[in-house]
Amino acid sequence: MKTDSKVPFSWFPGHMLKAEREIKKRLALIDLTLEIVDARAPLSTRNFRLGALLEGKPRVIVLNKTDLSDPKTTKEWCRSFDAEGIPAVAITKDSKDLNEVLIDVLSRTITDHDHSLSSKYRRFHSIRAMVVGVPNVGKSTIINSLVGQKKAHTGAMPGLTRQQQWVKLNDEIELMDNPGIMIPRIPDEETGLKLGLLAVVTDKVVDLQCLAEYLFSQFRDQLGDKIKNRYELDMTPESIAELLEQIGRRHGILGRGGGVDIEKSAIRLVDDFRQSRLGRISLEVPTGL
């Protein structure tokens, strides 16, 4: 997918490199990893460097923000990961049974792993899980929801958690929160656009008009009636330029001289996607669907 605007192909702040080093230092302290991904793009929001970094530790994938993704597609992603031998669970921070679901999958995963080891190497302490993932997928928010109070730092800005911290979930499980670790180089333009839409990379380094163009061009069929209803339009426009112009005119997003402020219209469209005001949309599906 080609666009006229540029997207960032690298965004790797210094504290993320430091976080990688800290993870390596603490591998001996943990039993398994809890990898958080955004359910709207489970592949693009995975950091594939973590596989080598974590040296084969058992892993559970948590598809977060499922209240924003297409329910059917999310179920297919869980089946896809399970078929690869990676336990996967779909949640939101407001899931009523969040504790029970995660405690169950963590316990089953580590029990299966322990049974595969000789008695000499089996675990004789509480389960210690390291929470990992790229920025802004909701790692700290999930931890806070699990413990019922604000233990981990949260915020809308990617990369807010700057250091590791232990959080005791119960007598059986302890969690280690970590800063979000971005891959040093985004592999292709489309992945960069998805990460921009999901605010994994900060808006300071992405072109929001480019994101709006990608969103509309790739998902127009899913968005058609939702866009028409959301922005009170007579019909869904054929092009992103026409859509941004109509959003601006209809909702008074004007600049100097009375012309539409196209950038602010693009911001409005992208923000409405991020907040699920355009409905529950998945940006990618498992291979073969």
Query: Over the stretch 246-275, which tens digit does the pLDDT of each residue have?
Result: 999 999 999 888 899 999 999 999 999 999
String of DSSP letters for 184-227: SS--SHHHHHHHHHTTSS-GGGS-HHHHHHHHHHHHHHHHHHHH
CA–CA separation, 243 and 30 (whole Å):
50
String of DSSP letters for 231-249: TT-SS--SSHHHHHHHHHH
Helix spans in 69-204 (H): 71-83, 98-115, 139-147, 189-197
In DSSP terms, 174 is beta-bridged to 128, 168
Domains along the sequence of the chain with CATH: 14-177 (3.40.50.300), 207-274 (1.10.1580.10)
Query: Over the stretch 148-171, which tens digit does the pLDDT of each residue have?
Result: 755 554 444 344 344 557 777 777
CA–CA separation, 135 and 16 (whole Å):
10
CA–CA separation, 280 and 38 (whole Å):
13
Return the higher-pLDDT residue of 223 and 112: 223
Query: Over the stretch 77-120, which tens digit does the pLDDT of each residue have?
Result: 999 999 988 889 888 867 666 767 777 777 777 765 554 443 44
Taking residues 265-288, report their average pLDDT: 93
The pLDDT of residue 180: 66
Q: In 3D, which of 145, 136, 130, 138 has the Cα closest to residue 177? A: 130
The pLDDT of residue 96: 64
Query: Over the stretch 66-86, which tens digit does the pLDDT of each residue have?
Result: 999 999 999 999 999 999 888
The first and second tokens of residue 93, run together, are 């921070």
Residue 44 near residue 135 (C-beta atoms within 8 A) = no
